[in-house]
Amino acid sequence: QQKVQQSPESLTVSEGAMASLNCTFSDGTSNNFRWYRQHSAKGLEVLVSIFSDGEKEEGRFTAHLNRANLHVSLHIREPQPSDSAVYLCAVSMGLLSGSFNKLTFGAGTRLAVCP
């Protein structure tokens, strides 16, 4: 069964400094990865989706995927206080998922951005 772990559990950065979040997964056949942001008492907002090794940029958010190392990361450039939220990594277990995107989520990293 897929296991997804995120680190660190919490992270505090200063406004404008780079924030880096990590996610490791256990199923090497996974090929569908997403980063979500969850503001308090709100739903999930997808930030970046990545399906192959390398880098994918969406505005200030960049995901790096290295499937050989079972690792995907999220880097937030010039974070703002409004980026303070919980960030969730979600991984799909590959072709065994069938016809829909069956996601396994990590527990999240709580990011605080200080002015």
Instruction: Give CA–CA dist 91/36, Å, rounded.
Output: 11
Tokens 């991984």, residue located = 91
Joined tokens for residue 9: 């559990």
Instruction: Name residues contacting other proteins, limited to 74-93 (CB under 8 A).
Output: 88, 90, 92
Contact call for residue 102 and other proteins (CB under 8 A): yes
Q: Does 109 bind other proteins (CB under 8 A)?
A: no
115 belongs to the binding site for other proteins (CB under 8 A): no
Please give the Cα distance from 40 to 49 (Å, whole number).
22
Q: Is 70 in the site for other proteins (CB under 8 A)?
A: no
Q: Within 35-64, which residues bind other proteins (CB under 8 A)?
A: 41-44, 46, 49, 51
The answer to whether residue 107 forms part of the interface with other proteins (CB under 8 A) is yes
Q: Provide the token pair at 60.
A: 């200030």
In angstroms, the Cα distances linking 31 to 4, 15, 42 are 14, 33, 27
Q: Which residues bind other proteins (CB under 8 A)?
A: 4, 32, 41-44, 46, 49, 51, 88, 90, 92, 95, 97, 99-108
